[in-house]
Every structure is written in structure tokens, then in C-alpha cells.
A = this chain, B = another copy of it.
Amino acid sequence: MNWTVYLSGEIHTDWRDQIEQGAKARSLPVTFTSAVTDHAASDAAGDMLGAEAVGFWRDHKSSKVNGIRTRTLIERCDVAVVRFAEHYKQWNAAFDAGFCAALGKPYITLHDEDIVHPLKEVDAAAMAWAQTPQQVVEILAYVVTAR
């Protein structure tokens, strides 16, 4: 039985790679999905539909194009991992967590201890809080293989 895991949030470190490598090393039957993680490409996603003079609308258009991908992948996934880092706002990650919560889709948060307090509502609806990508891999291994 294959599992699909959506990786949401911070794009500045290699946490996605670490989780994917860890899962591969253990041969877990997991398919990982993600938003477009190339920052510039993501910001420009709507440009292919014509340039915008106003920043708000350029962002709006790009976010909606990105939303076709993210909404579909979140609805298809079995579990999501939502990553927060201290120095970024990442309101989109918290948005994804709320979206999962409303759908009854289980998610795991991944963040350091020093942001526990501002993330308390997001963590309260999560199924687990991990501090390292390795812990995420361990949880996935346990959940998926029952060993």
C-alpha cells in the first residue's frame, strides 16, 4: 500500500531532500509531493498569462496558478508535513495546515522549539510535532510499515 506525503512550507533549507533521502534509504512506499519550490519560478507563475503592472495582482495571479497545484496535491495526499523556520513568515504553510485540519487530513509539523508558542494553534491540530527531518522519517517509517 503506497502513501502520498505532501511537504509544505519553508524553501530555504534542504529539509525536503533529507526526508526524501531518508525515506529512500529505508525503501518506504511513499511518494512525496510539493508546491513549486523554486522561489523565482513560483513568484512568476502567472507571468505566462501576461505581465501585471501592480504588485498585488502579479502576486494574486501567480498564487492562483500555484494554487491549482497545491490544492490538488493536498487533497490527494494521505499525510502532510508542514515546516516552519524562525525567520520567515510562512503564512502559506499555516494556511496549508488550516486547510488540512478542515479536511480532516493528518499533518505533522516540523519546527524548532523556540517557535512553539506562536505555533500553538497549528500544533494543536497536528498529529505530531517533529524537530528534525530524521524524526519525520522515523514517524513515516513507523506509520507506513507498522514496524
Residue of B nearest to A107 (CB): B68
This protein's copies in its complex: 8
Q: List residues 74-122 of chain A with CB under 8 A from any CB of chain B.
A: 76, 78-79, 84, 89-104, 106, 108, 113, 115-122
Contact B91 A56 (CB under 8 A): no
Classify the interface of chain A: helix, strand, loop or mixed: helix
* Distance of A36 Cα from B117 Cα, bound (Å): 16
Q: A53-B53, A84-B91, A91-B93 are in contact. List 20 more A-B contacts (CB 8 A).
A: A3-B72, A34-B146, A35-B146, A37-B146, A41-B142, A48-B142, A53-B54, A54-B57, A56-B116, A59-B117, A60-B120, A62-B120, A72-B106, A92-B121, A92-B122, A93-B94, A94-B98, A95-B101, A95-B125, A98-B99
Task: Give A contacts to B, CB under 8 Å.
Answer: 1, 3, 31, 33-37, 41, 45-46, 48-50, 52-57, 59-72, 76, 78-79, 84, 89-104, 106, 108, 113, 115-131, 135, 138-139, 142-144, 146-147
3 closest Cβ pairs, A-B complex: A98-B98, A63-B124, A102-B102
